[in-house]
A = this chain, B = another copy of it.
Amino acid sequence: MDATARTTPPTLTAHTVYLLSRTGKAARGALAARLAEQGLRLWHMAVLAALADFGPHAQRELADRLAIDPSDVVKVVDELAAPGYVERSRDPADRRRVRVALTPAGRTALTGLERETEAVRDAVLAPLDARERATLHALLSRVYAGLDGSSTP
């Protein structure tokens, strides 16, 4: 007998911030689990996406764009270079800089990750129909655009 109700306290669910935090965490967790199957984490996908969308970056540029610590970029790029998803090369014009470029394998991997992402969306947003999903996406887009990247980029 589940006399112990599993209901979340209404005092929590009444707050949009709480719902956002929880659903966001669920989404993040589900996506992370899928990426982990391929030995990747969220930052890896972010870096692949940045390279795909904007072309090769110096590592410093990646750090700026993704608002991640430069020293962490090194590690992420290391892990992407190991399976050959990205290639490092020194910028001949400024030999301090390391140019990071997406390889064909990396592009293939990215599209795979995007499919995983879509699968997670279908799981997490199951209660919503297509129209509602579009509405949610539009609202979240505006919220996201309004985030000042002080601590959470």
Contacts and interface: CB of A to CB of B under 8 A. Distances in A.
Interface of A: 4-13, 15-31, 33, 42, 45-46, 49-50, 52-54, 61, 64-66, 110, 114, 117-118, 120-121, 123-128, 132-133, 135-137, 139-147, 149-152
A150 B123 contact: yes
A48 B142 CA distance: 32
A65 B7 CA distance: 7
Contact of A147 (B11, B26, B139): B26
A9, A33, A52, A145: which has the most chain B beta carbons within 10 Å? Answer: A9
A54 B3 CA distance: 12
Looking at chain A's contact residues, the main secondary structure is helix
A146 to B, nearest CB: 4
A149 B149 CA distance: 33
Nearest to A45: B12
A49 B136 CA distance: 27
Contact of A24 (B13, B22, B52): B22
A110 to B, nearest CB: 7
